[in-house]
């Protein structure tokens, strides 16, 4: 179990890369857990080290609906009776898991839906548990926890419901899946948006924080986050150039473009091929918007 103390009463329990995530724990007037996607044993161990336990959790806040971030929410709710807080877009998806599946692109007709559900159940068990959000947060809502105030910051793109959470004192932002990983920005669902992602990166860059907490880096606190976000955003353009060169070299359909993986290093799992395809579809749309390629009778061609 690894955890970092970020400031007085602000901790991160490391979950690391997908299918887990880093979990922020705030111990103030209340015990607040943000994104319970680390190992539940690690969260238990961390709380015990603070003379607390899982039953003492008052509130769970969700940054967005991804299974690796909501994994243990209902388990903690059953143990502690904690309230669950999420934003206006996330809440109805959490309350109705079929809506969540559709939102993520896995409607009943999706050919890899079963495999994806299997992946979630094997690696993020609990994410599909039925439950309800108790407190719906609006954009920019603040909530005070004694010495610590939290404020939501809507940052769509990764998914339309994605939000960061500003920890106003001590002036740190939990950036969740604006995660600054080597992999780069993830926008692998039909409703993800490259344009919104770039705007959200700018929004966080403009904030004058003392540090950023990544949702997935094992060394989670980044102080020079403005430079790191610029490098992170550049990955989008690098990928777009790779998609364009594949098209210029004669790949004219999605299977032809995805024949050589561009985003994931290898594609042996059909679920990840689906994510790669959705990400590349966003790039093709972007290239069309930029007037560099066109789609004609199902074929993607240079203009």
Q: Which residues bind Zn ion (CB under 5 A)?
A: 66, 177
Q: How far is the C-alpha of 214 from the C-alpha of 177, rounded, in Å?
A: 7
- One DSSP character per residue, 90-150 reads HHHHHH-HHHHHHHTT--TT-TTHHHHHHHHHHHSTTTT-----SEEEPTT-EEEETTEEE
Q: Please, what is the minimum distance in Å from the beta carbon of residue 233 to Zn ion?
A: 17
Q: Please, what is the minimum distance in Å from the beta carbon of residue 259 to Zn ion?
A: 27
Q: Please, what is the minimum distance in Å from the beta carbon of residue 252 to Zn ion?
A: 31
Residue nearer to Zn ion on the CB measure, 216 or 283: 216
Residue nearer to Zn ion on the CB measure, 61 or 287: 61
Residues 6+ apart with CB under 8 A from 80: 54, 55, 56, 57, 58
> Which segments of the chain does DSSP mark as H helices, in order?
40-49, 67-70, 73-80, 90-95, 97-103, 113-123, 194-206, 225-248, 254-257, 270-289
Q: Please, what is the minimum distance in Å from the beta carbon of residue 26 to Zn ion?
A: 21
Residue nearer to Zn ion on the CB measure, 9 or 220: 220
Residue (of 27, 33, 34, 22) closest to 9 by Cα position: 27
**Eight-class DSSP state of 263:** S
Residue nearer to Zn ion on the CB measure, 71 or 258: 71
Residue nearest to Zn ion (CB): 66
Residue nearer to Zn ion on the CB measure, 22 or 80: 22
Q: Please, what is the minimum distance in Å from the beta carbon of residue 179 to Zn ion?
A: 8
Q: Please, what is the minimum distance in Å from the beta carbon of residue 18 to Zn ion?
A: 8
3-state SS assignment for residue 295: strand
Residue nearer to Zn ion on the CB measure, 28 or 189: 189
Q: How far is CA 163 from CA 41, 69, 115, 154, 272, in A?
A: 26, 12, 28, 4, 24
Task: Answer for the pair 47, 56: CB distance below 8 angstroms, yes or no.
Answer: yes
């Amino acid at each position: 179990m690894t955890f970092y103390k970020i400031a007085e009463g602000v901790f991160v329990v490391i979950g690391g890369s997908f299918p887990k995530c880093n979990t922020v724990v705030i111990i103030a007037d209340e015990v607040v857990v943000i994104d319970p996607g680390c190992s539940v044993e690690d969260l238990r161990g961390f709380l015990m080290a603070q003379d607390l336990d899982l039953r003492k959790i008052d509130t769970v806040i969700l940054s967005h609906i991804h299974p690796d971030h909501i994994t243990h929410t209902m388990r903690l709710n059953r143990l502690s009776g904690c309230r669950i807080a999420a934003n206006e877009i996330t809440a109805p998806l959490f309350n109705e898991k079929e809506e969540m599946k559709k939102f993520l692109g896995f409607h009943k007709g999706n050919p890899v839906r079963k495999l994806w559900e299997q992946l979630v159940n094997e690696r993020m068990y609990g994410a599909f548990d039925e439950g309800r959000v108790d407190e719906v947060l609006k954009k920019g809502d603040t909530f005070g926890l004694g010495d610590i105030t939290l404020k939501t910051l809507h940052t769509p793109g990764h998914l339309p419901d994605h939000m960061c959470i500003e920890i106003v004192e001590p002036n740190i932002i939990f950036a969740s899946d604006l995660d600054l990983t080597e992999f780069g920005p993830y926008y692998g669902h039909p409703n993800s948006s490259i344009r919104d992602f770039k705007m959200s990166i700018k929004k966080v860059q403009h904030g004058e924080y003392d540090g950023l907490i990544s949702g997935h880096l094992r060394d989670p606190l980044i102080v020079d986050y403005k430079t790191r976000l610029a490098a992170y955003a550049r990955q989008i353009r690098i990928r777009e150039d790779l998609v364009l060169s594949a098209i210029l070299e004669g790949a004219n359909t999605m299977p032809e473009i995805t024949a050589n993986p561009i985003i994931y290093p290898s594609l042996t799992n059909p679920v990840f091929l689906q994510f790669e395809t959705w990400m590349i579809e966003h790039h093709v749309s972007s290239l069309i918007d930029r007037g560099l390629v066109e789609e004609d009778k199902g074929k993607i061609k240079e203009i």
